[in-house]
Amino acid sequence: MSRTTPATAFLRRQGITFETLEYEYDPSVGKLGVHAAAAVGEPEERVFKTLMAEVDGKPVCAVIPVARELSMKKLAAAFSGRSAAMMKQPDAERITGYRLGGISPFGQRRVVPTVVAQEAESLPCILMNGGGRGIQVRLSVADALAAMKGRFADILVPQRMP
């Protein structure tokens, strides 16, 4: 039986079908999301991380692939703002109700505008933090977007060609 978190309870209340995957959380690894993808045996392109930021001083949520980088300029543009910055850890934890390393876009304490990297649009399913360290949820992209009341946006730093 998997653990119930505010995120999984939220998804159940919404009637969303999802699967919970648990793994050994290791805070010493450099890239937690990449580690999570490997730990649950999923390609990095399908595992997304939840980042809390501020656009023109207002909280927003960005959901991006774990191996990619968020563009602050594109994030600001996605919300018709002038500037964006990552939210400070204490603020992110207070607003979401989750600890860093376990922030989920589902069931946050405070509902904030959310964008998902447009790269998710073509995927059959997506994995995201399930509301706790070492917990991922797998669900359809359409269900994920509906549950978080999000929208797709071009928010990633372009990948460099080798």
Tell me whether residue 143 is in a domain. yes
Question: Side-chain half-sphere of 74: how many Cα atoms within 13 Å?
Answer: 16
Tell me whether residue 62 is in a domain. yes
pLDDT digits (tens, 9 = 90+) for 39-69: 888 888 999 999 999 999 999 999 999 989 9
Which two structure tokens, joined as six digits, stand for 37?
A: 């993808």
Tell me whether residue 36 is in a domain. yes
pLDDT digits (tens, 9 = 90+) for 72-105: 999 999 999 999 999 999 999 999 999 998 999 9
Residue 104 sits in a domain of what CATH number? 3.90.960.10
**Structural domains of the chain, count:** 1
Tell me whether residue 7 is in a domain. no
Q: What is the mean pLDDT of residues 139-150?
A: 96
- Is pLDDT of 29 > 70? no
- Is pLDDT of 1 > 60? no
pLDDT, residue 37, reads 80
Tell me whether residue 144 is in a domain. yes
Q: What is the mean pLDDT of residues 138-147?
A: 96
**How far apart, in Å, are the Cα atoms of 23 and each of 28, 36, 45?**
15, 7, 18
**How far apart, in Å, are the Cα atoms of 56 and each of 61, 70, 76, 104?**
13, 16, 8, 22
Instruction: Please give the residue range of the domain that contains residue 94.
Output: 18-153
pLDDT, residue 144, reads 97
Q: What is the pTM of this model?
A: 0.92
Which residues make Cβ contacts (< 8 Å) with residue 58, sequence separation at least 6?
Answer: 79, 81
Kindly give the pairing relationship between strand 114-117 and strand 58-65.
parallel
